[in-house]
Structure 1
Amino acid sequence: MMKRLSMIAIVLALFAALTIQASTKEMTIRGHLAQTVEAGGWLVIVDTDEKTTKYLLLNARRFQNKSWFRVGATVEVTGEPKPDAVTIYQEGIPFEARMMRAIEGKR
């Protein structure tokens, strides 16, 4: 009986861990574009009531040829945070964008 309960507990813990991991993959953020202190990097700065969060765009070059891609542009970005990514930039949460588009907003 104890073995069975232990096995059920392990399966439930594994399921919970996988669910949490899967739910943190892709996300959509809204903010404005800014350059990093170090040359060549781009950030999406997300302002909420509680705090400001900076996301470092790992693949900004993919979007730089768009006419709206400029400092201060308000954007909506869908992608995945990559907190373990190693970069030369010393700010922001590394973020790989799958889709980015300009949105109406004051900035």
Structure 2
Amino acid sequence: MALHTSIRDDLRAAAGARVTLAATAALLALLAVVRLASLPGILTVVAWPALAGAFLLDTALYNGAGIRVGDAGFWTLFVGCCYLESVAFVALARGVRGTRAERESGP
């Protein structure tokens, strides 16, 4: 039960953290640079989970409700998915850091 509470607390703390916004901005900047410059697309590998989430939501909206979001709607979904990816990453990093600190301070 304590582990579940810890994960929930890490997610809540990460959702409002400045580092989460910085990670989201970094993902968006990386994708913008790769799309605008002639850089290899493999550099966007860190943004693939967010792209997959945006594609999934876009497809679900169209197939489930017949809603076409268009290009602007897709990129809006992508920004939201980048934020969620950043929240998960920051929460995971905080959880690992907390677990590591507990192990080092243990008996």
| TM-score in same-fold range (> 0.5) | no
TM-score, scaled relative to structure 2: 0.25
TM-score, scaled relative to structure 1: 0.25
Q: Which has the higher helix share?
A: 2
Higher relative contact order (CA 8 A, sep 6+): 2
Q: Which has the higher strand share?
A: 1
Larger Rg: 1
